[in-house]
Structure 1
């Protein structure tokens, strides 16, 4: 693994799993319609994280630019998840915020 990207790749993978876990848990909430934006952003964020991880792993020239976009998606996801009291949403919000910072550092 490229050591320059290693921390960010690991953060991407953790974030993708957290977002998928959050989306799945949101689907089990009693008012799923209220969670629709959270679920959408969780899924977008998980996909963005997986793509960022793949681009970094193959040392793509687009990795840094994509990580900037990924950080934005993570920030939006964190903001949405933070609106909900569920533990899975709060955990996801914290991880997305942490990852956004990691991704911005790597992209700089």
Structure 2
């Protein structure tokens, strides 16, 4: 099992999860983070640290459609091992529906 970053991370990108990850399995895109499923050790410490509640175990139905996106982009985006600054408008985007269409496949800056 692994953990998966889902839709609510888009445009929120708080990065509290990065700070607690013992294996640095987070990768950063332009407007969200993903988890590399082969690097995640299923410890679960990231899930409660996410203020946007965007991280779920891959066994959770809410993670299903995001699992492949996490796998794909974790091999293309740079590794994130330190917490950065979230976007200035992150709180405004937290919980908004329909953010999937805002997904940006461009890599972010680690």
* TM-score normalised to structure 1 length: 0.26
- Give the number of the structure with larger relative contact order, counting CA–CA contacts within 8 Å between residues 6 or more apart: 2
Larger helix fraction of residues: 1
Q: Which has the larger radius of gyration?
A: 1
